[in-house]
Amino acid sequence: MVAQNATLRSKEELLEKLSKPEVITGSEILLRSLVLEGVDCVFGYPGGAVLYIYDAMHGFSDFKHLLTRHEQGAIHAADGYARASGKVGVCIATSGPGATNLVTGIATAYMDSVPLVVITGNVATTLIGTDAFQEADITGITMPITKHSYLVRKAADLPRIIHEAFHIANTGRKGPVLIDIPKDVSAELTMFEPAKEVSIRGYHPTVTPNKQQVDKLLKAIEEAERPLILAGGGVVYSGGHEELLEFVKKSGIPITTTLLGLGAFPSGEELWLGMPGMHGTYTANNSIQSADLLINIGARFDDRVTGKLAGFAPLAKIVHIDIDPAEIGKNVPTHIPIVGDVKTVLQIANKEVKWAAKADAWRAKLAASKIEKPFKYIDSDIELKPQWVIEMLYEETKGEAIVTTDVGQHQMWAAQYYKFNKPRSWVTSGGLGTMGFGFPSAIGAQMANPDRLVVSINGDGGMQMCAQELAICAINNIPVKVVIINNQVLGMVRQWQELIYENRYSHIDLAGSPDFVKLAEAYGVKGFRASNKEEARAVWLEAMNHPGPAVVEFVVRKDENVYPMVTQGSTIDQMLMGDSE
């Protein structure tokens, strides 16, 4: 307790010291303002336009800066940090190519509603618009994929802008905010006075819902015979997982969680039906098609969930709870719209729900379906099956790891076979489907949670897009356990070419990929390989017990497919079930 009080005191003293008015440079204002916003880790890559900022960082110890090996690695790491912690992720890059290398990561965060503050340098204000060396209009380039952006003209504006940026990024529907700082602004001397309040004209996200709409929801539940909840990432981002569990317990309504909603509701609960959509469970997909009331809580009605829109949930009255009014009715006609923060809406609803939905037959039918139609695959004692690998990882980690993934077949197998009982334990690129995201996002997740096991599951394709970030794991002893499901092919593309393009395999062979064990060792990271079950379990246990970072390559068969699968143009109950059926 004494140590804790001392820590709190030292933090308060630091904040008091940093808040004192003083004439300093724009760069120093930036660093002080970040600390005042609670930032403890920044991911970045220096260059000419941000050299004043990096000069101010010399000897600076009030937050940690991780030098990644590529700007895309920096922003994906900031993204993983934000998803795994609930705090705002921060990254810095220089002008021109440094800034444009962040674009994919900004779009990734924007699509998945992840709060980031992205800081870029720019050429001096006198050179803007002259096509100067390493000049790019990054605010213009990123306008469609940011919540807001700032081009800073005066150093005196920085305290307000930074305070506003963090507020915008982490309120309402969360997302990335970009701050572009010209080089002369970062060098300019001015009086620093920290911003204390935020007042942004026209920006007032609706947090508390219209009570009449919540009453309509409760009446619809009372009248329904086959109600169903579809919960998405909005539950996780709002911190509403406990309220969701209470709502389900009180109402007795079965629930399915989207890809980004995994962990929002405990997978061990009886009423959880799994994930819906293109690679969702048989029970989840059929429950949506049979429901007479579908309650969407913080999900986007993405096409990977809905399948053919004209045939989606054909029997259901649709309720949509979302903090972003633009999402309601955008893809699926909505009968009861509820605009508000998911956590707040559920808190209000939970005060009123005092009975379970009259749906005993519905619950019994879905419970039987879960038993009859689980995820299945044909196992092998000769070859290593990727589904078995994920099950083994779940078993040996006891489901307690933070799991990040890249994009592709391994991502879907991880979503299907690793069970999540806690929010912010699942980090994956959903809306944009960004290859190269999985490994650097794990670095950010580990920095946010130094005491938890972080496992990054990747394919052999995506791993090669950001493999260079192994360097910072080795240098900083970041103990991420990197899993590579190596099938020597672009697996999801191959699966589509097999099933939809009549076996016309075009440019998917990843032959010539590196020896991943040697690659890991070249960076100073422990490397392991397994090609059968006995080896797989043994090397995984060794990797888990290794105190630093480790890379574990699991060599699996090339032609394994992810099932079930809903092909484009089909309704979600028209599933290809695979050879196991």
* Per annotation, catalytic residue among 60, 134, 308, 317: 134
Q: Containing H/E element for 84?
A: helix 71-85
Query: Amino acid identity, residue 511?
Result: A
- The residues near 380 (Cβ < 8 Å, ≥ 6 apart) are none
Spatial CA neighbour of 473 closest among 451, 437, 441, 518: 441
Quote the CA–CA distance of 116 and 146 in Å, as a whole number: 9
8 Å CB contact between 273 and 283: yes
8 Å CB contact between 258 and 281: no
**Known catalytic residue: 134?**
yes
* Per annotation, catalytic residue among 28, 37, 71, 135: 71
Give me the numbers of helices (H) and strands (E) for the chain, helices first please: 23, 19
Distances (CA, A) of 63 to 38, 438, 457: 9, 24, 28
Tokens 């969407």 locate to 296
Quote the CA–CA distance of 255 and 100 in Å, as a whole number: 40
Tokens 């719209």 locate to 337
Quote the CA–CA distance of 159 and 185 in Å, as a whole number: 13
DSSP string across 459-487: ETTGGGGSGGGHHHHHHHT---EEEEEE-
Q: Containing H/E element for 185?
A: helix 183-187
* Per annotation, catalytic residue among 183, 373, 526, 533: 183
**Known catalytic residue: 492?**
yes
Q: 165 is written with which tokens? A: 């940026």
Quote the CA–CA distance of 233 and 17 in Å, as a whole number: 38
* Per annotation, catalytic residue among 492, 528, 565, 575: 492
* Per annotation, catalytic residue among 17, 20, 22, 133: 133
Q: 144 is written with which tokens? A: 């469609």
Angle at which helices 386-397 and 533-545 pack, to 10 degrees?
40
Beta-ladder partners of 25: 189
Instruction: Using DSSP, state whether 426 is helix, strand or coil.
Output: strand
Quote the CA–CA distance of 370 and 364 in Å, as a whole number: 10
8 Å CB contact between 142 and 149: yes
CB neighbour burial string for 412-433, b if at least 16 within 10 angstroms, e if fewer: bbbbbbbebeebbbbbbbbbbb
Q: 300 is written with which tokens? A: 């986007």
Instruction: Using DSSP, state whether 525 is helix, strand or coil.
Output: coil
**Known catalytic residue: 71?**
yes
Distances (CA, A) of 511 to 24, 373, 430: 55, 36, 27
**Known catalytic residue: 498?**
no
β-pairing, 454-459 vs 481-486, is parallel
Query: Amino acid identity, residue 237?
Result: Y
Spatial CA neighbour of 302 closest among 236, 232, 251, 401: 232
Q: 44 is written with which tokens? A: 């970045």
CA atoms 434, 438, 441, 443: torsion sign: negative
Active centre residues (catalytic): 71, 133-134, 183, 492
